[in-house]
A and B are shown apart, each in its own frame.
Chain A
Amino acid sequence: MNNPITHTFERLSAMLARDPRLTLDRLTPDAPLDGLGIDSLGMVDVMWNVEEEFRIKVPLKMPELRTVADVVRYIDRLVTEQGAPSPPSGAAAAAAPRTK
């Protein structure tokens, strides 16, 4: 069985890596978001995609997220709180082979 953190991390990484500037080798758990070029506006875009990928609703007010791991933990919290199913979407399934 997958470690849930790792599984979320892999799905998030696969999603982020659709942006050609975000290669998978840069997407480590401790990578700071601003170092990846994801500013507050970029986070809006990321969370819009996260909502679809993880079938969750991101609240209007988001906590401060500094690293990729922060985002992973936040997603897991929302998934747990919202009791959302977690079938990988088509996008994540297609991207899955790219994970290390």
Chain B
Amino acid sequence: MRRVAVTGIGVVSPLGHSAAEVFGNAQAGRSGIHRLDIPFAARLQAPLAATARFDEAAHFDASRLRLLDRFSQFALVAAKQAVDGSNGALADLDRGRAGVFVGNGMGGTMSMDAGYQTLYGEASDRIKPFTILMGMQSAAAAWVGIEHGLRGPNMTYSTACSSSAVAIGEAWLRVAGGQLEVALAGGAEAPLSNGSLKAWEVLHTLASIDADDPSASCRPFSKDRTGMVLGEGAAMLVIEPWERALARGATIQGEILGYGQSNDASHITRPSVQGQVAAMHAALRSAAIAPQSVDAINAHGTGTPANDSTETAAIKAVFGERAHRIPISATKALHGHLLGAAGALECVLSLLAMRHEVALPTMHLRTPDPDCDLDYVANAARAGVAARTMLSNSFAFGGTNAVLVLRAAH
């Protein structure tokens, strides 16, 4: 297996539209979660979201926008940032050996929702002509492939909340295994359609509004946590063999060291300690490292009662007594849950945290929970944490768990 470097990072997110901006806001604990100010908010019990504050017209002309759902727009902008920042990863490249790997949970749900509004809400047959092309789940990956002329595998992974961790992991396998020279890998999600917001609400997994401070409504690992907050955005990485990156003088942002998966095979929503432990063990095995080598963790940390206690138990099972000394960051308190883009964004934040030797904070952790008694870097970033190796956990509905092992470039 070849070593695999990350040489480009692109982000569109509720915390900003560049790696530097996103990291700065995460470090400062500035939340991208806010009260939703849309007409449909009146029909929501807890109108909250983490929106990307994205001006589509600044990136695409009207003729392109007619074909691009919001999740594809995010993916294209993030992919371009990553490629532009890679210092020529796509130059001198057999494009047949370059692939695209995108995670996505809900497809072009904004476009589908608009189509249903036309059909059923307005009782009109004038559904937009490109609704299928905008709504199809593979659209984001397809457009990224077209934009950059990448003719290798063009893959879309949909494993709910672990989708983009899976996409990065699967891309890593192809590059490490010698099948590909470059991959653009990550995730994109734009889930804030009216129908989606309502459907999530009735599942009773979303957070209640914090009346004093809506931006503090998502409180991972806090006893008073009430659920997750939906977020939107994309994160894309350029990954390539370490030696190729060195040879062309690229700036290496970090290394993908391993990737493990498991399936709970037990319940469609309820997480399983056993399944999460199996995914972390599989990741450590693939990286050929012992648990003692893990210096920090980016938790799945959704802020739902079930996830956070289960994840805490799983981390204890893998790391034993040492679990209490590992800084664990749950950044969803700030950027919300980006579903199929969550794993990619958290992978990016983990790489940046290692690069800056900072443990990112788990914000709004007000009330200790006896079932969540580890070091969550509560409420303030911690400087001087020279983590060399991190896990980034992604645990999904359906029981599809994925864990990435990441290593600092230094």
Interface 9-mer from A3-11, A23-31, A44-52, A84-92: A44-52
Interface of A is mostly: helix
Query: B126 near A45 (CB under 8 angstroms)?
Result: no
Does the CB pair A48–B128 fall under 8 Å? yes
Among residues of A, the one whose C-beta sits closest to the C-beta of B129 is A48
Q: Return the CB mask of A63-88 against B: 1 if under 8 Å, else 0.
A: 00000000000000000000000000
In the complex the two chains form, is B63's CB within 8 Å of A44's CB?
no
Nearest opposing residue in chain A for B61, CB measure:
A20
How long is the Cα–Cα vector from A26 to B129 in the complex, in angstroms? 25
Assess whether B129 is in contact with A52, with CB atoms less than 8 Å apart. Answer: no
B contact face: mostly helix, strand, loop, or mixed: loop
Number of B positions contacting A (CB below 8 A): 8
Q: How large is the interface on A (under 10, 10 to 19, 20 to 34, 35 or more residues)?
A: 10 to 19
User: In the docked arrangement, what's the CA distance between A87 and B297, Å?
Assistant: 65
| Cα separation A47 to B62 with both chains bound (whole Å) | 18
Query: By CB atoms of chain A within 10 A, which of B61, B63, B66 has the most?
Result: B63
A74 to B397, CA, bound (A): 51
Cβ–Cβ < 8 Å partners of B66 in chain A: 45
Of B61, B62, B126, B129, the residue contacting A44 (CB under 8 A) is B129
- B63 near A19: Cβ-Cβ < 8 Å: yes
A38-67 contact mask (Cβ, 8 Å, vs B): 1 or 0 = 000100110110011000000000000000
Is the CB of B130 closer than 8 A to any CB of chain A? yes
Is A21 on the interface with B (CB-CB < 8 A)? Answer: yes
What's the least CB distance linking A29 to chain B, in Å?
A: 23
| Most chain A Cβ neighbours within 10 Å, of B61, B128, B129 | B129
Enumerate chain B residues within 8 angstroms of A52, measured Cβ to Cβ: 126
Known: A20-B61, A48-B126. 7 other contacts (CB 8 A): A21-B63, A41-B130, A44-B129, A44-B130, A45-B66, A47-B129, A48-B128
A to B CB contacts below 8 Å, 8 in the list: A19-B62, A19-B63, A21-B63, A44-B129, A44-B130, A48-B126, A51-B126, A52-B126
